[in-house]
Amino acid sequence: MRILVAGGAGFLGCNLCKKLLEDEENYVVCVDNFSSGKKENIEEILNDERFEILNADISEEIDIDVDHIYNAACPASPKFYQKNQLQTFKTCIKGTENLLKLAQRKKANFLQFSTSEIYGNPLEHPQNENYFGNVNTLGIRSCYDEGKRAAETLCYIYNREHNVKTKIVRIFNTYGPKMREDDGRVIPNFIIKALKNENIEVYGDGTQTRSLCYVDDLIDGIIRLMNSKVNYTRPVNLGNDHEITINELAEKIINLTNSKSLIKFKPLPEDDPIKRKPDLKLANKMLDYYPRTSIDEGLKITIDYFKNCLKTN
């Protein structure tokens, strides 16, 4: 099986490449433009003869032989995707279409990394796949949210009009080793501040919630989805449905790191969703997907990872 992972040097992409290489039948091509992905993320698999890197931007057409395409290419942290909003939007739209065209030419299966962000600031809780969402088209997050929504539409069109076997995963907040130290999302921010005994910054009053999934659980679900026989146009939520407030998360990380950090409150960014929790019934039923890693277990592994990063800096 020849597998292309677009965004293969990013947080989710590199964890996916590593997992796919565990199957000796697989040959993996990682395509990345290294805008937020990092060479260090793929160092440990670089010498594998069944692994290849293509330094390329998916907003330009690429042509390689493939059986499966995973499209994880796009910065996913608000800090990174807001840096160059037009580029984010183009990566989602032009980049996804280029890969869909490749899938069409090669008759490859295509899996799109979509996101819980397409539900926006949700008015339904938990969010199931039938919910249309509540996205501000003109907000600071819209380049990513609307880009990802349009990318889902492109998958639908290529499936209907060109018979491409498209699948869509809607990924909820995920964390774990290989996240960037400067990622800007809540888990790396809190852990690094806690390890340095610096103030942890909670945005808003900290009562907003997220449901956090350990990366190995998510990758397992994504591979199951690619290899499953689910209806091609039906998106599937993946994540962990254990919901906690940002205040609880800050306290947990302070305890697990034995930190002297204090919590400081900062203004809530524009359009920051108040609550988020996946309804996983479809994934349970169709993929037998059940996230196994508790938040405490996942945080301990992630804390060790960042401790190591800080040592080697």
Least distance (Å) between residue 76 CB and ligand UDP = 8
Catalytic residue among 70, 119, 144, 214: 144
Residue 26: phi and psi, rounded to 5, are -90, 140
Instruction: Give the whole-angstrom CA distance, residue 85 versus residue 166.
Output: 26
Q: Which two tokens stand for residue 207?
A: 């009562």
Q: For residue 66, what are the CA distances in angstroms to 56, 63, 114, 211? A: 16, 9, 21, 34
- Give the number of C-alpha atoms closer than 13 A to the C-alpha of residue 177, restricted to the C-beta side: 16
- Give the number of C-alpha atoms closer than 13 A to the C-alpha of residue 215, restricted to the C-beta side: 20
Least distance (Å) between residue 156 CB and ligand UDP = 24
Q: Is 180 in the site for ligand UDP (CB under 6 A)?
A: no
Least distance (Å) between residue 269 CB and ligand UDP = 6
Q: Is 186 in the site for ligand UDP (CB under 6 A)?
A: yes
Scored b (16 or more CB within 10 A) or e, 266-277 reads: eeeeebebebbb
User: Strand, coil or helix: what is 6?
Assistant: strand
144 carries an active-site annotation: yes
Q: Is 173 in the site for ligand UDP (CB under 6 A)?
A: yes
Sequence letter at residue 247? N
Least distance (Å) between residue 202 CB and ligand UDP = 4
Other C-beta atoms closer than 10 Å to the C-beta of 79 total 15
Region 56-115 residues binding ligand UDP, contact defined as CB under 6 A: 78
Is the CB of 159 or the CB of 209 nearer to ligand UDP? 209
Binding mask 257-296 for ligand UDP (x = CB under 6 A): -----------xx--x------------------------
Q: Could you tell me the sign of the dihedral formed by the alpha carbons of 241, 247, 248, 250, in that order?
A: positive
Q: Which two tokens stand for residue 229?
A: 């026989």
Is the CB of 54 or the CB of 301 nearer to ligand UDP? 301
Q: Is 201 in the site for ligand UDP (CB under 6 A)?
A: yes
Least distance (Å) between residue 23 CB and ligand UDP = 31
Q: Which of 15, 159, 189, 257 binds ligand UDP (CB under 6 A)?
A: 189
Instruction: Give the whole-angstrom CA distance, residue 250 versus residue 245.
Output: 9
* Closest CB to ligand UDP: residue number: 185
- State how beta strands 213-214 and 209-211 pair: unpaired
CA 36 to chain centre: 13
Per rule CB under 6 A, count of chain residues that contact ligand UDP: 14
Q: Is 245 in the site for ligand UDP (CB under 6 A)?
A: no
**Residue range at the interface with ligand UDP (CB under 6 A); choices 35-43, 118-126, 156-164, 185-193:** 185-193
Is the CB of 37 or the CB of 122 nearer to ligand UDP? 122
Region 14-43 residues binding ligand UDP, contact defined as CB under 6 A: none
Element housing 52 (H / E): strand 51-55
Binding site for ligand UDP (CB under 6 A): 78, 173, 185-186, 189, 201-203, 208, 210, 246, 268-269, 272
